[in-house]
Amino acid sequence: MFDWVQDIADWLVYQVFGINKGAHLGEALNFFIYDSVKILILLTVVIFFMGIVNSYFPIDRVKNYLSRNKLYGLEYLMASLFGVVTPFCSCSSVPLFIGFVRGGIPLGVTFAFLITSPLVNEVAIGLFVGLFGLQTTIIYVVSGILLGTISGIILQQLKLERFLTTWVKEVLENAQREQDAFIAEKSTFKQRLPIIWAEVLQILKGVIPYVLVGIAIGGLMHGYIPEGFFEQYMSKDNPLAVPIATILAVPMYMNASGVLPVVQVLVVKGIPLGTAIAFMMGVVGLSLPEAMLLKKVMTLKLIGVFFGVVTLCIIISGYLFNLIL
């Protein structure tokens, strides 16, 4: 599908730039050009499609439905599914998390959204299809949804509402968002298209720097790191490789679009896919900047419990991925 992109990358690197095939710089630059073009095309298509979906299912409609209806446990799954169609990193999901809590949605349901939103969204799905294929993408999406759902249920059973800060209660509903949702409901598809495309450009503007940085890191790893370098630390023979990868990922911060090219290179270098994905989930779903932002709405004890439960679920997911894939 993207053979023409590879041809362009080969032409630029080996003919225009005159770099010898097999050279470290050539391998790194070829990887960067090919993946940059391919991923940006995928992102534009997928984000535009999800923009159409989001225009028909406003945030406040979902939030109000979850808070007013008894769904017998399905609300956790619905919150996770809603997280899939919102293109947010862990930090930018926090404002919606606050709005959900303020709107009366159970804390566990809001956690299900907060966990799934950065892990599985149109950006991550578009990248996964391009980097790992459809079958692996489906498994990843299902596991991400289950991770959010199960973690949300566990956190709800712990009855952690008392550990929310008083600041949460002072947060007011965003009236403009409700007005925008009402306007969107009354608009025709033709009228929505300029708004959808503007959102696509806005998302791409925020995502592209992460994409390019992530691909650049992946290119350097692809071109310069020798085969087998990571295997001594996170090889399939190391039973602790998954928890090590997950714990090491927590201090880092990058969204899915930035870290996925790095994950691709880790897999190429011999790291089992489940271990690499556990690393990615740790980077994307748990980060120090997210913890700092959550401090506004949660006590340190609640943040610790949240991170602990999600870390445990990510580690389990990593082992399951390695078994399945």
8 Å CB contact between 250 and 287: yes
Tokens of 130: 């391009």
Q: Is pLDDT at 53 greater than 70 in this prediction?
A: no
Mean pLDDT of 92-103: 61
Beta bridge partners of 164: 298
Residue-level pLDDT at 182? 47
Q: Which long-range contacts (CB under 8 A, 24 or more apart) does 301-306 make?
A: 301/163, 302/160, 302/163, 302/164, 305/155, 305/158, 305/160, 305/163, 306/111, 306/155
Tokens of 211: 């994409």
How many other C-beta atoms can be found within 10 angstroms of the C-beta atom of residue 262? 24
Residue-level pLDDT at 25? 86
Residue-level pLDDT at 59? 55
Residue-level pLDDT at 2? 72
8 Å CB contact between 14 and 26: yes
Average pLDDT, the chain: 75
8 Å CB contact between 144 and 120: yes
Residue-level pLDDT at 44? 79
Q: Is pLDDT at 50 greater than 60 in this prediction?
A: yes
Residue-level pLDDT at 93? 58
State CA 153 to chain mean position distance.
Answer: 20
Q: Is pLDDT at 18 greater than 60 in this prediction?
A: yes
pLDDT one-digit tens code per residue, 169-226: 554 334 345 445 545 556 677 777 887 788 778 767 766 776 677 678 767 766 776 6
Residues contacting 23, CB < 8 A, separation 6+: none
Percent of the chain with pLDDT over 70: 68
8 Å CB contact between 111 and 155: yes
Q: Which of 102, 131, 97 is nearest to 116 (CA)?
A: 97
Residue-level pLDDT at 174? 41
Mean pLDDT of 286-300: 72
pLDDT one-digit tens code per residue, 223-281: 776 655 556 667 667 788 889 888 877 766 566 666 777 788 888 777 888 888 888 88
Residue-level pLDDT at 67? 55
Q: Is pLDDT at 310 greater than 70 in this prediction?
A: yes
Residue-level pLDDT at 215? 73
Residue-level pLDDT at 296? 67
Residues contacting 255, CB < 8 A, separation 6+: 89, 90, 118, 123, 207, 210, 284
Q: What's the pTM value of the predicted model, to 2 decimals?
A: 0.62
- DSSP annotation of 282: H
Q: Is pLDDT at 103 greater than 70 in this prediction?
A: no
Q: Is the pLDDT higher at 53 or at 115?
A: 115
Range name among 3-17, 18-32, 91-105, 187-201 with the lowest pLDDT average: 91-105
